Amino acid sequence: MTNLHLERMELREIELPLKSPFETSFGCTTRRRILIVRVFDKTGASGYGECVASEGPFYNHETVDTAWLITAKYVGPLLTKAQVETAGEVNAALAPIRGNQMAKGGVEAIWDLEAKIAARPLWQHLGGVRDEINCGVSIGLQETVETLIDKVAHELDSGYQRIKLKIKPGKDVQLVEVVRARFPDITLSVDANSAYSLNGDLSVVKQFDQYNLLMIEQPLAPGDLVDHAKLQREIKTPICLDESIVSLADARHANELGSCRIINIKLGRVGGHTEVRLIQAYAVKHGIPVWCGGMLETGIGRAHNIALSTLPGFTLPGDVSASARYWDEDIIEPPVTVSRQGTIKVPTTPGIGYEVNEARIEALTVRRETVRLGA
Ligand code: OSB
Ligand code: MG
């Protein structure tokens, strides 16, 4: 394969309203501010990535603004210094930057560029093994249980294979009770986004065991691997970790401690495709099922998620769903669609496999910066 000669990256912030507000235990999102990264090589070829940092530091410590700063001021110069020539070298080149995984994840645009130059679909370039992925949905907290039931029914009608409900203290067991009573046989899980504590909430969390849940996602704080291990010993429902796992080392610690039985992998949270693959390989080796999480991405981040969901070990339905659930009009063409069986057919054209609508991105851009790469 020919080596890359990186020339520059273009950062853009776009603003895009969500079709409907998305509420979690840590807050409500109505408009997304999104950092899109486009990397160019000296021939003019380019690849796209999406930084999945949120507007505020509430899911994790990063924000669109911190990721922008880290990307422009540190990621660019480190890539230049390392004279990165393959996508596989990016992770090591950026290792001096502590934390800030989402900022690092944005420049995984380089994988799209490399796959395009190699004229291969990104998923094959990454080592994917399936041409169709299984999809679930994440449903935010709703005003009333009736709206929640309607939403669940609607998503099931669309074919989605797994329903995940967002929960928070006071809006938890009774929601699951009602949804389970109405839909006795569906594959159901809950996501607490770290809203509970072992000491205060054990009796509440234990009650979920009655409802045959596929998993409870991230009940406790991100750093609480020890408490998650204690909690897992107290409950039958498998714990899935999201926020807690930002590296291969975290996955290994969680496994060795018994903090979870399932892992949610997000490209941005772990800092890029290389770390995704390290965690996925570790999980396969140790028999831990993984699935791909979502961060309310545009089509660019969604396309990367589709590609990584084809890797071995991604055996559970992910949170990767149709563009139309989020946006009136996506920034890729065609938009991501889901079959009646709740699957996404993986694209067969080079790179991320979707056309990026540059005119639409231009129209949505509120900030831009060009960062030189390469000497
Ligand atoms: O915890 O998985 C999460 C959205 C934003 C931040 C964190 C999470 C989520 C979701 C939505 O659950 C997943 C999606 O539909 O993109
Ligand atoms: Mg989660």
Nearest one of 304, 361, 352, 307 to 329, comparing CA atoms? 361
Q: Is 193 in the pocket of ligand 1 (CB under 6 A)?
A: yes
Nearest one of 42, 75, 72, 6 to 271, comparing CA atoms? 75
Which ligand has the nearest atom to the CA of 242?
Answer: 2
In a domain, 351, yes or no: no
The pLDDT of residue 2? 74
| Strand stretches in the chain, DSSP E | 6-24, 27-41, 46-51, 132-134, 136-139, 162-166, 188-191, 216-217, 239-241, 262-265, 290-292, 332-333, 343-345, 355-356, 365-372
Q: Is 41 in the pocket of ligand 1 (CB under 6 A)?
A: no
For residue 340, how many C-alpha atoms fall within 13 Å in the half-sphere facing its CB?
A: 0
The pLDDT of residue 181? 98
Considering the domain architecture, whether residues 102 and 185 belong to the same structural domain is answered as no
In a domain, 231, yes or no: yes
Q: How far is the CA of 293 from the centre of ligand 1 (A)?
A: 7
Nearest one of 56, 52, 35 to 308, comparing CA atoms? 52
Considering the domain architecture, whether residues 162 and 144 belong to the same structural domain is answered as yes
- Quick check: helix, strand or coil at residue 34? strand
Q: Is 244 in the pocket of ligand 1 (CB under 6 A)?
A: no
Q: Please give the positions annotated as active site.
A: 166, 266
In a domain, 319, yes or no: yes
Considering the domain architecture, whether residues 114 and 131 belong to the same structural domain is answered as no
Considering the domain architecture, whether residues 164 and 283 belong to the same structural domain is answered as yes
Q: What is the CATH number of the domain that holds 39?
A: 3.30.390.10
Domain count, the chain: 2
Range of the domain at 204: 125-345
Paired tokens of 198:
């072992």
Considering the domain architecture, whether residues 98 and 167 belong to the same structural domain is answered as no
The pLDDT of residue 1? 65
What are the per-10-residue average pLDDT scores of the chain (375 residues)?
91 98 97 98 97 98 98 98 96 98 98 98 98 98 97 98 98 98 98 98 98 98 98 98 98 98 98 98 98 98 98 97 98 98 98 98 98 89
Name which residue sits closest to atom 9 of ligand 1, judged by CA.
295
Q: How far is the CA of 190 from the centre of ligand 2 (A)?
A: 9
Q: Is 60 in the pocket of ligand 1 (CB under 6 A)?
A: no
Q: From CA 92, how far away is CA 222, in angstroms rounded?
A: 24
Considering the domain architecture, whether residues 201 and 298 belong to the same structural domain is answered as yes
Q: What is the pTM of this model?
A: 0.98
